[in-house]
Structure 1
């Protein structure tokens, strides 16, 4: 019994607790003082600092007071300043095709079973399924699809695996 208790306590100590999980992110500041946070690291021209990102579960620590609101109406100077700020996208995923078809346009094309220039092979296979025939010539791949009525459809890819536009 004593040996079993010791084994269970050792196993408990070796398993990481989900409460201890946190992430480290990069805090990037450019020459103009704009600050961005990313998991991928900062560009060489920006100052980089490591920042611990810890999100404790509610009820495990001291209460955090809510932000105090300014009394009175917002001044027009404050609202102009808020409008002047711009959105910075950090760590955008590259699809290898120049991100020519992204977001809602990609989803709409897939739902309507359309193939658009700039889609990847994975996008085409997700839209139309596995091709009936694959051919390759000069580093360029071609998928051929045939439906139940005997009609055929061809999709051509460039050397990067992106759907080529019509000439």
Structure 2
């Protein structure tokens, strides 16, 4: 039996993906100027031209322009600036404490003047007893060791007191 050379088979297998990515499309132009692209034949009376269409795979195309290389010119000075806060929404407690002070107080389970009821609950948990008199609210926290802590809020729901240093340690 004559032996067949493996080269034609290998060549056809290597060119198969290239053939699968390319196709011919008919460009059909009607008398009124309407253009249709199809893989089928054109209607009678339309002019036909063949279009070779190739699907490009990633990495198979070349950029038209070279990539930009950032460089500093002699007259250019690049200075990084911190963003400027133009306006800040006031919280219901009048911005007595900063966001950083609020976070640190919650993490350390402390209550400081200017915290809201939600902040206090985040720091100490749900109160054991809530008392409401007139427009003031009071939270009471009791522990198993007989100790307790009481936090008083004004009519806006903010902890009372003007000094930021006035704190109440968590009873837990």
Task: Name the TM-score, length of structure 2 as normaliser.
Answer: 0.48
Larger Rg: 2
The normalised TM-score by structure 1 is: 0.49
More helix by share: 1
